Structure 1
Amino acid sequence: MAIEVDLHLHTTQSDGRLTPTELVRLVAQKGLKVVAITDHDTTDGLAEAYQAAQAFPQLTIIPGVELSTDIPGNEVHMLGYYMDYQDPHFQAILETFREGRVGRAREMVRKLADLGMPVEWERVVQIAGQGAIGRPHIAQALVEKGYFQYPQQAFEQYLGRNGLAYAEREKMTPPEAVRLIRDAGGVAVIAHPAMLDGLDAILHDLSQAGMQGMEVHYAEYDEPARARLADAARRYGLLPCGGSDYHAFGTPGERLPGDFGPPMEIAQRLRALAQANARARAARRG
């Protein structure tokens, strides 16, 4: 059966390599019908994406975001869908996240220099362009300098959570991210949960906090992993979402939009949840 839905995509507004316009053209070419743009800590690519999508009336674009949060021993990514992304409070919080990214990136560049792998800060900024600066931009600078062949190698040795040049930044807790998304009328979904230790406790706590979904149909998971996650989604009453997590990195084996994703029924249920959340938000506001 052809894949028509992808709920996890990135653009140059965070750490993807395609502009929103280029990504919209690609997903339309691939025959997708419903996609979510989920850049890290920013919704700045949505206006361009909506403009580009006018040329493809069969394509629906869901407003999304991917927030980085912390719990002891784990970094948890929280996806938000259908939130009122123009809400001033929501955007103010995202701006603080992006400021933290800049400080963390500067510290990692400094650590790399101390480790004998200098890259120019100005080049990192150039690679990021108008997007929120992140570790993938540093990884690309390292590749350009010839230290690595692929960005993922830089993450494995230096930029990942246990890497030699890793630096922390201030983040929300996962329940705080859930509340931020829900307060903006959106649906909160935990991203790539199979990577987390103590998953059952995390799902229990976050479902109590208002999280409504989890990624099950994720490109990096094999069938046994998807089955385990689908069972967890049923037990906690969570919508089984997912997508390719496409960045256009060009690494060997990278999944493309259309290679993997949830069935259309999931997109329809996601929209129904969002409509109910929006009504509840409107009622709270009187």
Structure 2
Amino acid sequence: MKIDLHSHTLCSDGVLSPADLVARAAEKGVDVLAITDHDSVAGLTAAREAIAAQHLPLTLINGVEISTSWQQLEIHIVGLNITPDCPLFLQRLATQQQARVVRAEEMARRLAKNNIPDVLPAVLKLANGAALTRAHFARHLVSIGKASTMDNVFKKYLGRGKIGYVPNNWVDMAEAIAWIHDAGGVAVLAHPLKYKLTTKWVKRLAEQFAAAGGDAIEIISPQQTPVQKRELWALCELHGLTASVGSDFHQVTTWNDIGKNLYLTDDVIPVWANWPQVAQAQSA
């Protein structure tokens, strides 16, 4: 069974519509998929409708990825099996969306100060109502020739210490975990090796995530090695956490695709161990 619990649509910074994403997931043999847009659940209904209309052999997990602040760093927490129409949860996500707008306005101001004007209107048009992210800024700056790739945009303009960088103003990590639990979900520490932390700091992050009530760690991503997987699972065991897997899919690249290279060995306890949807998918 192929399970991918971390993916994005154009409702945040992915490039596929919810309908196109679930169609690609089915094409790639994914059995269980979570859509986890940044601070947004806007794509879930359309994805579920597309699965039904196209009769896709795919189980959809309601998800979200919340940007949080921890030790002045931006840490992402995935919420799985949430209740997406919970009024309080939607209200809380709305505060994150507003924080994104405030940050985007300041990013555009700083870029304008450095002779890159009129960025915000272009970014808003590109996002088309989606959750604003730095990826939207990066795509625009590539389109106007400021860099050849999105990675280069971050290195030159949007990364920490660069002219367009604005420190995050996200919710505290522990508070985001509480939001997810209040919405009936489980909280997963997303891609812990992508934050460019030392081993010591990864261990500290895992410890404090668990102490704040976190439930699982994403121990498998497409480019992780077996050794890295074992080290992350050891942290799960140390802190009583389960394991999750996710491609963090935004678009097809040479190194990533929906459901690519995601697997867990039998010695690992998956976050979905007691999920009835997964049990039903396995028996289908």
Q: Give the TM-score normalised by the residue count of structure 2.
A: 0.88
- Give SS of 1:67's match: strand
- Corresponding residue for 1:38? 36
Aligned to 1:261: 262
Distance 1:271 1:142 in 2: 42
* Residue pairs, 1:1-286, within 5 angstroms: 4-54=2-52, 55-194=54-193, 195=195, 196-197=197-198, 198-248=201-251, 253-263=254-264, 266=270, 268-269=272-273, 271=275
Deviation at 1:162, TM superposition (A): 3.4
TM-score, with structure 1 as normaliser:
0.88
The CA distance in 2 between the partners of 1:119 and 1:245, in whole Å, is 30
Aligned to 2:281: none
Q: Count residues with an aligned counterpart.
A: 271
Q: What is the Cα deviation at residue 200 of structure 1?
A: 2.1
Q: Secondary structure at the match of 1:266?
A: coil
List alignment gaps of at least 5 residues for structure 1.
Answer: 275-286
Letter of the structure 2 residue corresponding to residue 271 of structure 1: W
In angstroms, what is the RMSD of aligned CA positions? Answer: 2.2
Is residue 216–residue 229 contact of structure 1 (8 Å, CA) maintained in 2?
A: yes
Q: Does structure 2 conserve the Cα–Cα contact (< 8 Å) formed by 1:33 and 1:60? A: yes
2:141 and 2:234 map into 1 onto residues whose CA distance is 40
Structure 2: gaps spanning 5 or more residues: 279-284
| Contact map agreement 2:74 2:168 (CA 8 A) in 1 | no
- The aligned amino acid for 2:147 is F
For residue 125 of structure 2, give the secondary structure of its aligned residue in structure 1.
helix
Deviation (angstroms), 1:223: 2.7
| Contact kept in structure 2, 1:11 and 1:17, CA below 8 Å | yes
1: CA distance, partners of 2:120 / 2:212: 39
SS of structure 2 residue aligned to 1:58: coil
- Please tell me whether the aligned partners of residues 69 and 168 of structure 2 are also in contact (alpha carbons under 8 angstroms): no
| Residues 74-125 of structure 1: per-residue CA shift (max 9 Å, x gap) | 2111000011121111000100100110111111112112223335322111
User: CA–CA distance in 2 between the matches of 1:60 and 1:34?
Assistant: 5
When residues 34 and 273 of structure 1 are mapped into structure 2, their CA distance, relative to the original with a 3 A threshold, is closer
Q: Are residues 144 and 119 of structure 1, via their aligned partners in 2, closer, same or farther at CA, if it must alter by over 3 Å?
A: farther
CA distance in 2, matches of 1:122, 1:201: 40
Counterpart in the other structure of 2:282:
none
User: Contact 2:223–2:255 at 8 Å: present in 1 too?
Assistant: no
Cα pair distance change 1:67/1:216, threshold 3 Å:
same
CA offset digits 1:25-82 (Å, max 9, x no partner): 1001111100100000000000000001112342001000001111224211100001
Structure 2 CA distance for partners of 1:267 and 1:178, relative to 1, 3 Å: closer
4+ long deviations beyond 6 Å: none
Instruction: Give the aligned residue type for 2:222.
Output: A
SS in 2 for 1:140: helix
Relative distance call for 1:270 and 1:73 in structure 2 (3 A) is farther
Moved more, 31-40 or 196-205: 196-205
Cα displacement (A) at 1:225: 1.8
Q: Which amino acid aligns with 2:261?
A: F
The residue type paired with residue 273 of structure 2 is: R
SS at match of 1:97: helix
Question: What's the CA shift for 1:273?
Answer: 11
